[in-house]
Amino acid sequence: MSRHVAIVTDSTAYLPSRTRERHAITAVPLTVVIGDQALLEGAEISAGALAEALQKRRSVTTSRPSPEVFAETYREAAEAGAREIVSLHLSAEVSGTYDAAVLAAKDAPVPVRVVDTRMMGMALGFCALAAAEVVEAGGSLDEAVAAAEKRAGDTSAYFYVDTLDYLRRGGRIGTAQALLGSAFAVKPLLELDGGRIELREKVRTASKAIARLEELAVEQAGSGPVDLAVHHLAAPDRAEALAERLRKRVPGIAELHVSEVGAVIGAHTGPGLLAVVVSPR
């Protein structure tokens, strides 16, 4: 479907494929490297395969898309009829994806506005959907960018991990914080803060940490219209149970997505991840 403003994001938005297709959103894949094998997220590696590799303690790293991949994506959008492009990406604090998109945008055949949403997961996905809805209503590039940035500013993301070791290995959280959690055998609750993954609270047990995660989501959601997402890695029952409790406790839910994260975020959080994204409309 040709639109005057094309919406581009990256694979860490974790939008369901049918949702991407319905809103004509293009997701550029990041790469996951397991051992010496480079695999495209969303196309060549599943979350299950990633979890298995992590559990076997295989070497797992991630890398951004190249500027050439973004350049080709922008060319294809222009050839399909787009006169302008909004390119929305995960936080530049944790990935070079935004920088690669900026490089490619300089030589694109149509104007490209690249936005560092400072988000990831469905926190990024909701930004892309907000921009797409504006475009579908006939809005301009500036209006689409403003809608995405407003969504990003209003959205919160909280998550529980069984261990901080994966985040420490990937350089996404400080060694001191990770060692502190290990030394006192606490279960960490984290949040996205200024585009970075920060330790929010330390809780004594997994069950108490998940209960606190639920409370944070309910408090942040309030009573107004809100979109929610529950993410997990290799913890589907835990995710479905949390989603069901949120359905009962949050009165203004417009949409609630439950999904397993992809390999890129999963590589840095490890199996057992449980996350909630709260995005007011």
Q: Report the C-alpha gap between 39 and 29 in whole angstroms.
A: 10
Answering whether pTM is above 0.95, one says no
Q: Collapsing DSSP states into helix, strand and coil, what is residue 88?
A: strand
Are 75 and 108 in contact by the 8 Å Cβ rule? The answer is yes
Structural domain 5-30+65-153, CATH architecture: 3-Layer(aba) Sandwich (3.40)
The answer to whether residues 156 and 173 touch, using CB atoms and an 8 Å cutoff, is no
CATH for the 156-280 domain, from 3.30.420.10, 3.30.1180.10, 3.60.21.10, 3.40.50.2300: 3.30.1180.10
Q: Over its length of 281 residues, how does the chain's per-residue pLDDT go in tens digits?
A: 447 999 999 999 999 889 999 999 999 999 988 888 888 888 888 777 888 888 888 888 889 999 999 999 999 999 999 999 999 999 999 899 999 999 999 999 999 999 999 999 999 999 999 999 999 999 999 999 999 999 999 999 999 988 777 776 655 554 445 444 454 467 888 899 989 888 888 888 889 999 999 999 999 999 889 999 999 998 999 999 999 999 999 999 999 999 999 888 888 888 889 999 999 99
Backbone angles phi, psi at 26, to 5 degrees: -95, 130
